[in-house]
Chains A and B, each alone.
Chain A
Amino acid sequence: MFRDVTFGQYYPKNSFVHNMDARIKLVLCLLFMVGIFFVQSYVGFALVTVFLMVVILASKVPLKSILKSVKGIVVLLILTAMLNIFFTKSGNVLVSWWIFTITDEGLIYASKMLLRLVYLVIGSSVLTLTTTPVDLTHAIERLLAPLKVIKFPVHDLALIMSLTLSFIPSLIDETDRIIRAQKARGADFDTGNLFQRAKAFVPILIPLLVGGFRRAEELANAMNSRCYEGATNRTQMRVMKLSWRDLVASLVCIIVFGGIIVVYAMKATWQPILPWMYF
Chain B
Amino acid sequence: MSKSPVVAPQIDEKVAIYANNLNFVYNPKSPFEKHALKDISLSINKGEFVAIVGHTGSGKTTFVQHLNALVRHQSGDLFVAGLNLADKKLDLKKLRGSVGMVFQYPEYQLFADTVLEDVAFGPRNFGVAREDAYKLAKNALETVGLDFEQIKSKSPFDLSGGEKRRVALAGVLAMKPQILVLDEPTAGLDPQGKREILSLVKSINKQNDITVVMVSHDMNEVYENADRVIVFRDGGVVYDLPPRQLFKLEDQIVSMNLEIPQMAQFTNALEKQGIVLPDDCITVDQIFDALCQLKGGSNV
Q: Would you list which residues of chain A between 180 and 202 have a CB under 8 Å from chain B?
A: 180-188, 202
Q: Is B103 an interface residue (CB 8 A)?
A: yes
- Closest chain A CB from B123 CB (angstroms): 8
A184 touching B68 by the CB < 8 A rule? yes
Chain-B contact segment, one of A118-126, A139-147, A206-214: A206-214
Q: Of A174, A188, A207, A210, which contacts B125 at CB under 8 A?
A: A188
Known A180-B65, A203-B111, A207-B110: A187·B70 in contact at CB below 8 Å:
no
Residues 195-234 of chain A, each 1 if its beta carbon lies under 8 Å from chain B, else 0: 0000000111011001100000000000000000000000
A186 touching B110 by the CB < 8 A rule? no
Known A183-B70, A185-B175, A186-B122: A178·B108 in contact at CB below 8 Å:
yes
Bound Cα distance from A202 to B109, whole angstroms: 11
Q: Of B97, B106, B109, which contacts A186 at CB under 8 A?
A: B97
Bound Cα distance from A274 to B96, whole angstroms: 78
Count, A-B residue pairs, CB within 8 A: 58
Query: A185 — which chain B residues lie within 8 A by C-beta?
Result: 96, 109, 121-122, 125, 171-172, 175
Which one of A185, A202, A203, A206 has the highest number of Cβ atoms from chain B below 10 Å of its Cβ? A185
Q: Is A68 an interface residue (CB 8 A)?
A: no
Q: Is A177 an interface residue (CB 8 A)?
A: yes
B109 touching A178 by the CB < 8 A rule? yes
- Closest chain B CB from A153 CB (angstroms): 32
Known A203-B121, A210-B157: A184·B111 in contact at CB below 8 Å:
no
Which one of A184, A188, A207 has the highest number of Cβ atoms from chain B below 10 Å of its Cβ? A184
User: Residue on B with the closest CB to A203?
Assistant: B111
User: Residue on A with the closest CB to B32?
Assistant: A3
Q: Of A174, A177, A183, A202, which contacts B96 at CB under 8 A?
A: A183
Residues 166-206 of chain B, each 1 if its beta carbon lies under 8 Å from chain A, else 0: 00000110010000000000000000000000000000000
- Closest chain B CB from A224 CB (angstroms): 22
User: Residue on B with the closest CB to A183?
Assistant: B70
Known A177-B103, A180-B70, A210-B157: A186·B175 in contact at CB below 8 Å:
yes
B103 touching A186 by the CB < 8 A rule? no
Known A207-B110, A210-B157: A180·B122 in contact at CB below 8 Å:
no
Bound Cα distance from A70 to B238, whole angstroms: 48
Known A181-B103, A181-B106: A186·B126 in contact at CB below 8 Å:
yes
Q: Is B101 an interface residue (CB 8 A)?
A: yes
Bound Cα distance from A202 to B121, whole angstroms: 12
How big is chain A's contact interface, by range? 10 to 19
User: Residue on B with the closest CB to A210?
Assistant: B157
- Closest chain B CB from A241 CB (angstroms): 33
B175 touching A207 by the CB < 8 A rule? no
Bound Cα distance from A60 to B99, whole angstroms: 49
Query: A207 — which chain B residues lie within 8 A by C-beta?
Result: 108-111
Query: B101 — which chain A residues lie within 8 A by C-beta?
Result: 181, 184
Q: Would you list which residues of chain B between 85 and 118 have a CB under 8 Å from chain A?
A: 93, 96-97, 99-101, 103, 106, 108-112
User: Residue on B with the closest CB to A184?
Assistant: B101
Query: B65 — which chain A residues lie within 8 A by C-beta?
Result: 180
Bound Cα distance from A185 to B172, whole angstroms: 7
Q: Would you list which residues of chain A between 105 and 162 have a CB under 8 Å from chain B?
A: none
- Closest chain A CB from B120 CB (angstroms): 10
Bound Cα distance from A174 to B125, whole angstroms: 22
User: Residue on A with the closest CB to B71?
Assistant: A180
- Closest chain B CB from A7 CB (angstroms): 17
- Closest chain A CB from B164 CB (angstroms): 11
Known A207-B109, A210-B157: A184·B125 in contact at CB below 8 Å:
no
Bound Cα distance from A210 to B112, whole angstroms: 12
5 example contacts (A-B, Cβ-Cβ < 8 A) are as follows A184-B96, A186-B93, A204-B111, A206-B111, A207-B109
Q: Which B residues fall within an 8 A CB radius of A?
A: 65, 68, 70, 93, 96-97, 99-101, 103, 106, 108-112, 121-122, 125-126, 157, 171-172, 175
Q: Which A residues fall within an 8 A CB radius of B?
A: 174, 177-178, 180-188, 202-204, 206-207, 210-211
Q: What are the nearest 7 A-B pairs in CB distance?
A: A186-B125, A184-B101, A206-B111, A181-B109, A185-B122, A203-B111, A181-B103
